Amino acid sequence: MEKEKRKALARGIEHDYPRNIQIALSVSLLSFILMFNTIKSLPVTPYARAQTENITMVEEMNALEEVTVPPPPVQRPQVQVEVAEPGETAEQVDVLTDINNLDFGNIDVTPPQVDSVYEVYAVEAMPEITRFVTPEYPEVARQAGIEGRVVVQVVVDERGNIVPGSERILASTNEIFNEPALEAARACAFKPGQMGDRPVKVRVNIPFAFRLR
């Protein structure tokens, strides 16, 4: 029964659909015509351009008179010069400095003592070793089969001797070789380095190699 009612309702909707469409279109067209007539009947005021007033601005400028001010007079300094009076000689006039009264005996013209230590790359002639001393091989290192290398830095004076206390270990592979290397460095001798014609102190490095044969 319920199914037959639904079918009857559907047939009624399909039957009335074209008529409903016509009614909706008619109402829409009528509304559009009424709206158009309403807008057409409204009063329209033409646009009028506002007139602008011309404003004239006048600037007044006062002329400035150039006034030339003369510079103040320059006053020359007055220097008092002492001159000889009539009857006096030039030797009787006091002067500021009399070269005959200067004493040059107290001026020390001795050149300053230069006691600088030069680096080996800064001298014109590098020191040349004239006596190389082979260090004593430590017995403990010999028995243990240990080898090594030590570089000792010293200062060679103007006579080619090692400056006492200047020796120091620069590099070492084993501390057991340090003392023998220092003793050997103290016993070495050099031809001194030179700057120009004079010998100078130079800092040099002495390498020592400890090898088992």
Across 133-161, b (16+ Cβ under 10 Å) vs e yields eebebbeebeeeebebebebebbbbeebe
The per-residue pLDDT for range 88-120, each reduced to its tens digit, is 554 444 433 444 554 545 544 444 445 689 998
pLDDT for residue 196 is more than 50: yes
Are 126 and 203 a contacting pair, CB within 8 Å? no
Residues found in the chain = 213
The per-residue pLDDT for range 34-63, each reduced to its tens digit, is 777 777 666 656 555 544 444 344 344 444
Dist. CA 41–CA 198, nearest whole Å: 125
pLDDT for res 23: 80
pLDDT for res 21: 78
pLDDT for res 30: 80
Token pair 């090692």: residue: 162
Structure tokens at 41: 């009947």
pLDDT for residue 153 is more than 70: yes
Question: Residues with Cβ < 8 Å from 90, sequence gap 6 or more?
Answer: 84
Mean pLDDT, rounded, for 9-16? 67
**Bridge partners of 191?**
128
Dist. CA 177–CA 179, nearest whole Å: 6
Dist. CA 169–CA 178, nearest whole Å: 7
What are the DSSP calls for 77-122, one per residue?
PP-----PPTT--GGGS--S--GGG---TT---PPPPP--EEETTT
The per-residue pLDDT for range 170-183, each reduced to its tens digit, is 999 999 999 999 99
In this prediction the pTM is 0.47
pLDDT for res 51: 47
Using pLDDT thresholds of 50, 70 and 90, give the confidence band for residue 154. Answer: very high
**Bridge partners of 78?**
none
Find, among 64, 72, 154, the residue nearest to 117 by Cα.
154
Q: What are phi and psi of 30, to 5 degrees?
A: -65, -40
Most confidently modeled range among 22-31, 56-65, 179-188? 179-188
The per-residue pLDDT for range 122-145, each reduced to its tens digit, is 999 999 999 999 999 999 999 999
Average pLDDT, the chain: 75
Using pLDDT thresholds of 50, 70 and 90, give the confidence band for residue 213. Answer: confident
